[in-house]
Homo-oligomer: A and B are copies of this chain.
Amino acid sequence: MSKPRAKLTDNFPGCPVESTLSFLDGKWKGVILYHLLQDGTLRFNELRRRIPAVTQRMLTKQLRELEEAGLLSRTVFPVVPPRVDYALTPIGRSLEPVIAALRLWGKEHVICENGRKYMVMPEEKAASKAA
């Protein structure tokens, strides 16, 4: 199945938010899409290097799910050593505004420090500037 968690009986039609989220479900899909949007085409280990915390197993899994969903294409070069390129499909690329929105909000409202995440209230930022 292409949906890892979604039981396909979630809710009635009419919740595109849920639908979209279901394609981003999984711990690494968002990051993968982000890097693919940034760099165009990436090989397996190039992706790994950009997402240090991911394991091969999970990277493979999430890539396959994204591929099955039609969001990215996987190109195998029959050479030795093996080479596999990953790139977004047109649909995958159409997620750009979504990823951009996610990224923007994260930059605005979350502080990442040593791997920890802290929320930042806009008022605090404004207040510190104004007051």
> Is A19 an interface position by the 8 A CB rule?
yes
Contact of A110 among B5, B19, B117, B121 (CB under 8 A): B19
Is the CB–CB distance between A13 and B102 below 8 Å? Answer: no
Which residue of B11, B23, B95, B103 contacts A20 across the interface (Cβ within 8 Å)? B103
Neighbouring B residues of A7 by C-beta, 8 Å = 53
- Find chain B residues with CB under 8 A from A84 CB: none
CB-CB contacts of A67-102 with B at 8 A, as 1s and 0s? 001100000000000000000001100110111111
B20 & A106 in contact (Cβ 8 Å cutoff): yes
- A90-130 toward B: CB 8 Å interface, digit per residue (1/0)? 11001101111111111111101111110101110000000
